Structure 1
Amino acid sequence: MFKSHAFLFIFIGVFGLLGGIAARFSNEFSFAFQNSLSSSLQANILSIERQSNEIKDRLAAENPTSLIFVGDIMLGRDVEKSINKKEGDWNFIFSKSADFLQTADLVFGNLEGPISSHGKNQGSIYSFRFNPLVAPALKSAGFNVISLANNHILDWGGEALADTISILKENSINSVGAGLNREKANSPVIKKINGTEVAFFAFTNLYPEGLEASQNNPGVSSFDLEKIKEEIKNLKQSGRADIVIISLHWGEEYKKEANDFQKQIARSLVNSGTDILIGHHPHVVEEVEKYGNSWIAYSLGNFVFDQDFSKETMEGLALKVTIKNKKIINAETLKVKINNDFQPEIFIPAYQ
């Protein structure tokens, strides 16, 4: 009797143990299977999403994308006086050009000074600083990317530069060509426009000692030609950019033709992968040329400026570029005239 009960207890114990092992194995197998299924499903979902995004980008890239580039924008001195006569309505300055600018997918210009109420005048012979209310007006006019790489952006020091970057950002405008340190100053702005990755750089070789950004100090981007060309190649080869645009603040003031240095630099950058090169600073129009499959505008002249001492400084060019399937398919120049209230007006057809 005792032996039979002992045997029964042993049998029940072993059966229970085996059942427990089986249940645990079943749970672990089920968990592993679910994990495997979940990972596989997740991978498939990610793959489908990636393929879907690629298709969307490809279809979007088939739609024409238009970019408009304009010249130097100076919103102080007599320009501000003109605005004050209009009860401080900064939209007035762009009222004759905004409708055209807003037809583009992106508008780019060069801002000749900081936007700030702060800072210390650094003592330049011409020292510019603009009312913070100009930023909403720039946004309303259609501007998306602004170059700060010029010889006036630090006219009121690093604090005013920091304000400029922040104020533009608050108004959904990207700034390029200057920053709070070297890394930020040299970094491109990359925007996806209708499925096309467009990279913007801005540089100047016209700055006094101390204006270039350092590791811990604000300033403009570093004009190092070999490093710039290497960065362009890296962006193109990595697929981070389909179109590369470079803005250069350079050349000689009031000269109507680009000098040999400008031509050498521009063509070297194009040979390294630059698709569009835009020049600023001379305050007058210089030539526009197609070089290979790329476009070079050596100087677009003025867009908003109070230099009313000559016909040439009260005129400029707008360059309109059309992109389709991630390639430039057209570029045209449009004449800009600045009236006595310093409002730019864009005329069609352009002169070549």
Structure 2
Amino acid sequence: MGSGFNRRAVLGGLGAGIGAGTAGCVSDLGLTDRGAESDESLPDSSPVSGTVTTQSGDPITDATITAIREGDTTIADTTTDQDGSFSIDLQRPVWLRIGHEEYLTEMQAVGPGETVTQTVTEREGAVSLQFTGDVMFGRRFYEPNHDSLSPRYQINPETRLEDHREILQGIQPLLAAGDITSINLETPLTTTDLRHPEKTYSYVSHPVAAQVLAEAGIEYTALGNNHVFDALDIGLEDTIDSLDEHDVAYSGAGFSSDEAWEPAYIEENGLTVAYISCTTIVGESVEIDWSADQSETSQHRFEHNGEQRTLPASIGVAEPTSDRLQTAVQQATENADAVVVQIHGGDEYARDPDERIRTLSEEAIEAGADLVVNHHPHVAGGIESYEDGTIAWSLGNFVFDQELWETLDSYVFTAHVTADGVVETSIEPVLLEGYLPKGITGRPRDHVLQTTAGHSPDTVHLSEHQLWTTGPAFESDENPITNQEQRSFEGTESIYTREQGWIEEISVSSGDAQLGRDRLLTGDFEDTTIDGQRFEGPLWRYGRESDPTITPNIGHNGHAGARLTRHEGNEDRTLLSPRYRLPVLENEQGYTLSLLYQYSENANFEILVSWYDESRGNSFTTESLEPDSSTGEWHRLVWHLDPPTNAEFIDMFFFLEPPEEGGIREVLLDDIRLIEWADPSISGGRQYDHLYLDGEITADLRANQPSGEANQEVSWSPLAEETSNLDSSSE
């Protein structure tokens, strides 16, 4: 594949001027909350069209298609015709519920103008099982927010119940769509002030969460994790009492090993499903561990509020060994039609499993489990079919207060299961904005799907806006179709972007080629989240106290965009930046910052890139530039960035200074991308959405589609027609 990028800054359009590398002072001004967007400024409605078919491709007639907003509010509905087709007008992203009395309910986030192709599973003898990642309602949910440019959700103790309900309001339609919906409850539910004396991080949530989870459609909680014991025995007892009070099933923790390993059995649609929960993270490095399996007779002693307390060592979580886990699974198969195992473990922020988690997961399937669903890394991992079962390697976060970029996207995992095993599985992408889970469409949705596909084998299928796989109980003879094409590309320091389909393999005829992926999920500023706001610029940091500055018609070609404005009454510059700094990976291949911008005269518009050696604290070096005027036209800027030595994080800032002598300064921005380049030895992959080319290549392209669907086009297009080279200033 060649050596990759030359180590120069690349700027497109009209070039750029050199700016100072200092950050200066930033006020809480500029971009705002668009929740009050007037109807006149909103885009016209656009139809969502689609088809609903059986797994064999036969059309489903009279299926009910319902468009739902947050809070389960219906805004439109229709039914499928004799061809299984439908069309419904939308003005904003919604949940699309597909229902039919003879088939399991399907739910998908869709946006105006999108096309939906949905296959459905016969309801007779089947259940729909849903799984989310880590859930907690504590810590920063109660702490004041000292960054006014990054609003986040805060629970008010005086309105605690309603606030908990609001946290799940936007995602509740999805949670309610499954027959049995499960979460990993990564927190005790308690009001005690007792805490584990040796833990650095303790997550404690209020018992009211149990009521809200039940109201939202949660039937089961996995307790086998490393935080359910953060409030020790009192916290665990309160948690169990709260869940029992609201008829939410649980497993994975208890006051003895037998209690911790006892599966939860749930009956639905004539099937009994067993849920086993356990964790490999049991506090081996501390004196007071939380394994229920390491000792049944000893006691822990510690001091709390000046008093000595004793704690039986048999209280805690189910800790898996190969024998213990396989025995639990084999026993559960005797009492259930389907067995689900949830394992909490692995390396934090790693999308792929470590050796121990892989071994335990495969052993659970070999013992008879139909599904293994894992969590703990806080990031979403891949999906894999193994023998007669399916494994989801990591579900990431669902309701959580982490402020790390890689933890902000996740998914809900759905499996259709019969007594014969798994029929099919799929994922529904989720974005955590201000700690709240939201359904997503457009570019952020595709990012989650492509990332998950990139960490999954080819038996997991990726098509337009969907990712799915079939299981051993899938009865159709029709297999998903893979569209394959071979195309030639050529360019001089050119960048191509993915429209549809992925590059399976690159053969370089001459020069260099390199694959990359955009790390910014929401750089197009489109309305992609299902919530009560419009064009709110999720995952961007900016002031929200002045006039709306992200609207649906100020971007390139009439799309949404960001507008930075300063006038003579302003004293400080305004700012736009990602909500959190992004981690720098270890491949040392560099980044490309690409964006569209427009302004007519010298506006004192500066772009600053900062490098950090930690997730918090000041940068140790910066690079900056001031793009030249675009004379009122949209221009693309392409700037290559090499991480300096010891760089662990990168961030970028877009500054606009106020005018010195009256008037107004304005800059329009759109399509901001931070492309992270892979090692040149990598010649293909479903997670990559950009191609750098300085020469000529032949590429094998692929695209999946469900059976019976028209061929999906495979398309990659140039990101910038012309580029020129220029160095930036740095400090």
Q: Does 1:298 align with 2:388?
A: no
**Using a 3 Å threshold, how does the CA distance of structure 1 residues 257 and 346 change in structure 2: closer, same or farther?**
same
1:265: how far off?
1.9
TM-score by length of 2: 0.38
Residues in 1 aligned to 2:196 and 2:375: alpha-carbon distance in whole angstroms: 22
Q: 1:347: how far off?
A: 3.9
| SS at structure 2 position matched to 1:131 | coil
Shift, 1:121, TM fit: 1.2
The CA RMSD over aligned residues, in Å, is 2.0
**Unaligned regions of 5+ residues in structure 1, if any?**
1-59
Report the CA distance shift for 1:270/1:159 in structure 2 as closer, same or farther (over 3 A).
same
Aligned counterparts of 1:248 and 1:69: Cα–Cα separation in 2 = 13
Supply the distance in 2 between the matched residues of 1:84 and 1:268 (Cα, whole angstroms). 41
Whether 1:100 aligns to 2:174 is yes
For structure 1, which segment, 319-328 or 133-142, has the greater mean C-alpha deviation from structure 2 after superposition? 319-328
User: How far does residue 63 in structure 1 lie from its aligned partner after superposition?
Assistant: 4.5
**1:211 is matched with which residue: 282, 290, 308?**
290
Alpha-carbon distance between aligned partners in 2 of 1:126 and 1:97, rounded to the nearest angstrom: 27
**One-letter code of the match for 2:291?**
E
Matched, 1:109 2:183: yes
Cα distance in 2, alignment partners of residues 257 and 231 from structure 1: 25
Q: Would the alpha carbon gap of residues 211 and 320 (structure 1) be closer, same or farther in structure 2, given more than 3 Å must change? A: same
- Counterpart check, 1:77 vs 2:139: yes
Aligned partner (choices 258, 274, 294) of residue 199 of structure 1: 274
- Distance in 2 of aligned mates of 1:221 and 1:263: 18
Partner residue of 1:346? 439
**CA contact 2:346–2:377 (8 Å) conserved in 1:** yes
**What secondary structure sits across from 1:84 in the alignment?**
coil
1:252 Cα deviation (Å)?
0.3
The separation in 2 between residues aligned to 1:234 and 1:154, in whole angstroms, is 26
**For residue 231 of structure 1, what is the aligned residue in structure 2?**
328
Q: C-alpha separation between the residues in 1 aligned to 2:209 and 2:327?
A: 36
Q: Write out aligned runs for 1:218-297 (5 A).
A: 218-236=315-333, 238=334, 240-297=335-392
Contact kept in structure 2, 1:102 and 1:142, CA below 8 Å: yes
Q: CA deviation at 1:87?
A: 3.5
Letter in structure 1 aligned against 2:183? G
Structure with more contact order per residue of length (Cα contacts < 8 Å, sep ≥ 6): 2
Is this contact kept in 2: 1:258–1:287, CA < 8 A? Answer: no
Tell me the residue number matched to 1:163: 238
Residue 326 of structure 1, CA deviation: 4.7
Unaligned runs of 5+ in 2: 1-121, 144-152, 297-311, 454-731
- 1:8 aligns with none
Partner amino acid, structure 2, of 1:284: V
Give TM-score scaled by structure 1 length. Answer: 0.77
Q: Which range moves more in the overlay, 213-222 or 86-95? A: 213-222
Instruction: Find the counterpart in structure 2 of residue 57 from structure 1.
Output: none
**Inter-partner Cα distance in structure 1 for 2:167 and 2:380:** 21
CA–CA separation in structure 1 for the residues paired with 2:248 and 2:137: 17
User: Where do 1:307-322 residues align within 5 Å?
Assistant: 307-310=402-405, 312-322=406-416
Give distance in 2, aligned partners of 1:334 and 1:143.
Answer: 16
Classify 1:324/1:242 alpha carbon distance in 2 versus 1 (closer, same or farther; 3 Å): closer
Residue 280 of structure 1: how far off its partner (Å):
0.8
**Structure 1 stretches of at least 4 aligned residues deviating more than 6 Å after TM superposition:** none
1:68 deviates by 0.5
Equivalent position amino acid for 2:166 in 1: F
CA distance in 1 between partners of 2:123 and 2:404 (Å): 44
Cα distance in 2 for partners of 1:325, 1:268 equals 20
- Distance, in Å, in 2 between the alignment partners of 1:243 and 1:64 is 10
Partner of 1:91: helix, strand, or coil?
helix
Query: 1:181 deviation in Å?
Result: 1.8
Structure with the greater alpha carbon radius of gyration: 1
Q: 1:325 to 1:181 in 2, by over 3 A?
A: closer
* SS at 1:102 equivalent: helix
Name the residue aligned to 2:196.
Answer: 122
**Residue 177 of structure 2: SS of its match in structure 1?**
coil
Relative distance call for 1:205 and 1:91 in structure 2 (3 A) is same
Contact 1:190 1:200 in 2 (8 A): yes
Q: Separation in 2 of the partners of 1:298 and 1:80?
A: 31
1:129-160 alpha-carbon deviations (Å, 9 max, x no partner): 11111111111111111011111111111011
Identity %: 28
* Partners of 2:389 and 2:421 within 8 A in 1: no
Q: How many equivalent pairs are there?
A: 289
Q: How much does 1:309 deviate?
A: 2.5
Deviation at residue 235 of structure 1 after TM alignment = 3.0
- Letter paired with 1:323: V
More strand by share: 2
Distance 2:436 2:353 in 1: 26
Residue type matched to 2:354 in 1? N
Q: Summarize deviations over 1:305-345 as a string: whole Å, max 9, x none.
A: 111221x20111211111245532110011111112x2102
| Aligned equivalents of 2:365, 2:237: Cα separation in 1 | 32
| Letter of the structure 2 residue corresponding to residue 112 of structure 1 | E
Given that residues 119 and 158 in structure 1 are in contact (C-alpha distance below 8 angstroms), is that contact kept between their aligned partners in structure 2? no
CA distance in structure 2 between the aligned counterparts of 1:218 and 1:254, rounded to whole angstroms = 29
Structure 1 residue 71: Cα displacement:
0.3
Separation in 2 of the partners of 1:164 and 1:325? 32
What are the superposed Cα offsets for residues 218-269 of structure 1, whole Å, 9 maximum, x if unpaired? Answer: 2111322212212322332x3x111110000110001122223222221121
Contact 2:252 2:277 in 1 (8 A): yes
Distance 1:326 1:164 in 2: 34
Greater percentage in helix: 1
Cα distance in structure 1, aligned partners of 2:167 and 2:127: 26
